[in-house]
Amino acid sequence: MDVVCRRIGALRALQRHREEGRKVVYVDEMWFTTRMSHSREWVDTTQAPFNTTYSRQLPPGEGERFVVVAAGTDEGFVDGSYLCYPAKTNQGDYHGEMNGELFMRWLTTQLLPSLPEPSVLVLDNAPYHSQLTEESRCPTTATRKADLIRWLEQHNISIPPAATRPELLLLCQQNRPQPQYKIDNTIRMLGHDVIRLPPGHPELNAIEQVWGFMKRYVRSTLQRFTRTELRATLDEARQLVHKDVWAGAVQHSRKYEEEYWKTDNIHECRTHYHKHCQ
């Protein structure tokens, strides 16, 4: 129910921002690798690698990979937002190659300065998008008893006499502040807004369709599976993601929005949804 309620809140916020004239900017990260799901590709091993009819043959190993961070609208990639860099390792996914500091630096130096105002950024809830401000942090099971007491006193919460550590922790959790994220505050401080998608809803982030377009191009184009060729192929794929591709991706996501409006039985409500679905 929490996910559904968060979805409803996101859909209503998207509608409201569009009606206010804000440009919707879709933000995400993805990794691309020289192995890009070619493991089941048929290989003609009778042909020499330099033969023009040679079928791509996968070399052994994990392969090379790049992480790409970008943002876009129905008009294309936001100018200056595209960042592509080699991954430090060849294992795991791109989440291991991204952190809050790197994302914040990209956000403040590449994306936000390039945005036409007013804009609203659509984000998922990746850990590096979700660093809490100090004010909204709540003690955890690892917090010492003395620190639990200090936190409760700082928040003017009455402490029962002779309260045990589990009781103090429960009291902290019952008075947990509403989460405030560093990234959200930065975005709003610079005149924009942010919508966080509920978990498991990539279909509502149009850039996912763009990543799919680029991955299909990389899969069908790579020939030698080297870092140099992967980087060059990614540059080609990026150039091919023109305005019509982005417009189609946004239209695709908006179709899902329309379906959720129907299946979630969302009504036109401007005054009360904040209390129930936030």
Per-residue pLDDT 10s for the chain (278 aa) are 689 999 999 999 999 999 999 999 999 999 898 876 544 433 444 444 444 444 455 554 556 789 999 999 999 999 999 999 988 754 444 444 578 888 999 999 999 999 977 899 999 988 888 888 888 889 999 999 999 999 999 999 999 999 999 999 999 999 999 888 999 999 999 999 999 999 999 999 999 999 999 999 998 898 888 889 999 999 999 999 999 999 999 999 999 999 999 998 887 654 444 444 44
| Cα(261)–Cα(247) distance, integer angstroms | 21
| Cα(271)–Cα(251) distance, integer angstroms | 28
Q: What is the pLDDT of residue 117?
A: 78
Give me the residue label for tokens 């019509």: 244
Nearest Cα to 277, choosing from 11, 18, 17? 11
Q: What is the pLDDT of residue 190?
A: 92
- Per-domain residue ranges of the chain: 2-38+61-129+182-269, 138-176
Q: Is beta strand 119-123 parallel, antiparallel or unpaired with respect to 193-196?
A: parallel
Is pTM beyond 0.75? Reply is yes
Q: What is the pLDDT of residue 62?
A: 58
Provide the terminal-to-terminal Cα distance of the chain, rounded to the nearest Å.
12
| Cα(233)–Cα(235) distance, integer angstroms | 5
Report domain 2-38+61-129+182-269's class.
Answer: alpha beta
Largest distance between two CA atoms of the chain: 83
Give me the residue label for tokens 């942090």: 137
| Cα(82)–Cα(202) distance, integer angstroms | 20
Instruction: Report the 10 Å Cβ neighbour count for 96.
Output: 13
Helices (H) and strands (E) in the chain, counts: 9, 6
* Contact by Cβ (8 Å): 235, 214: no
| CB proximity list for 182: less than 8 A, separation 6 or greater | 100, 104, 131, 132, 133
| CB proximity list for 116: less than 8 A, separation 6 or greater | 23
Nearest Cα to 14, choosing from 121, 99, 109, 88? 121
Instruction: Report the 10 Å Cβ neighbour count for 175.
Output: 13
| Angle in degrees, CA 76, 262, 209, rounded to 5 | 25
